[in-house]
């Protein structure tokens, strides 16, 4: 019997087999959960459905949902409510910034680029939590993904670092707001991994190559390690934990400028 046997969860952000959300999906199913997976648009649908099929009957629904579109969020949760009267956990692995905002001087960030990064990377957690909460009458767990760039200056992370800082503040406020409903809200902060979005950041590969040399555990982060931590947060073992940010980065958050921090 696994940690999540009998539980059902909703995961946003599965894009391909390298995505953090996919690591979460695999760990959740291994621990006995049933899942609902979303995809952003036609471009991602085929990959997400193929991955979902590899999990067999554990995936109960694969549906489109752009969290910046209120009508899509409502449509998704109507489908979820038809499947279950109690959603046990929700994982939010959604973020975006324009690529040209992730290089050069931060002071050159455009107003629309700043607003877009905040909307997609931070506000969508509010939208997803607001929609999920009524489906968690017995309580539940909400988990999101942040990064060390929220705490330290990481080269070329720029506006995304500011958005992740806002996301972490959102976690704390949601934890307080939803706590009386026995809904826990936490964030995991993975280290550098070779996800599709990360490799687009200038200089990322050079920093990534150094991790096995300088990280206290002498290894880079694996999405499966992130998935296992999310499975813990989705389980009853974390029932007294809320408003936290847990680093899953082989200890890199302890370090100074050798990995780009200040």
Candidate list 12, 39, 123, 157, residue with the active-site label: 157
Supply 257's token pair: 């400028």
Question: How crowded is residue 151: how many other Cβ atoms within 10 Å of its Cβ?
Answer: 18
Answer yes or no: 157 catalytic. yes
Which entry of 12, 39, 147, 208 is annotated as an active-site residue?
A: 147
Structure tokens at 42: 């036609």
User: Catalytic site residue 208?
Assistant: no
Two structure tokens written together for 15: 């894009």
Active site residues: 147, 157
């Amino acid at each position: 019997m696994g940690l999540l046997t009998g539980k059902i969860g909703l995961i946003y952000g599965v894009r391909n087999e390298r995505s953090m959300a996919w690591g979460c999906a695999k760990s959740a199913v291994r621990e006995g959960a049933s899942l609902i997976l979303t995809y952003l648009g036609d471009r991602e649908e085929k990959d997400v459905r193929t991955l979902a099929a590899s999990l067999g009957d554990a995936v109960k629904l694969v549906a489109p949902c752009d969290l910046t579109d209120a009508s899509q969020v409502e449509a998704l949760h109507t489908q979820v409510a038809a499947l279950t009267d109690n959603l046990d956990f929700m994982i939010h692995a959604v973020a975006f910034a324009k690529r040209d905002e992730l290089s050069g001087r931060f002071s050159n960030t455009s107003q629309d680029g700043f607003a877009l990064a905040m909307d997609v990377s931070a506000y969508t957690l509010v939208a997803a939590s607001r929609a999920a909460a009524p489906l968690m009458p017995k309580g539940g767990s909400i988990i999101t993904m942040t990064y060390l760039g929220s705490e330290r200056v990481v080269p070329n992370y720029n506006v995304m670092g500011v958005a992740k800082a806002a996301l972490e503040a959102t976690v704390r406020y949601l934890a307080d707001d939803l706590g009386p409903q026995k809904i826990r809200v936490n964030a995991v902060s993975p280290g550098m991994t070779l996800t599709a979005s990360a490799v687009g950041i200038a200089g990322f590969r050079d920093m990534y190559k150094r991790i096995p040399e300088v990280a206290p555990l002498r290894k880079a982060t694996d999405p499966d390690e992130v998935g296992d931590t999310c499975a813990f947060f989705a389980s009853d073992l974390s029932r007294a934990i809320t408003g936290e940010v847990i680093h899953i980065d082989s200890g890199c958050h302890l370090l100074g400028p050798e990995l780009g921090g200040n």
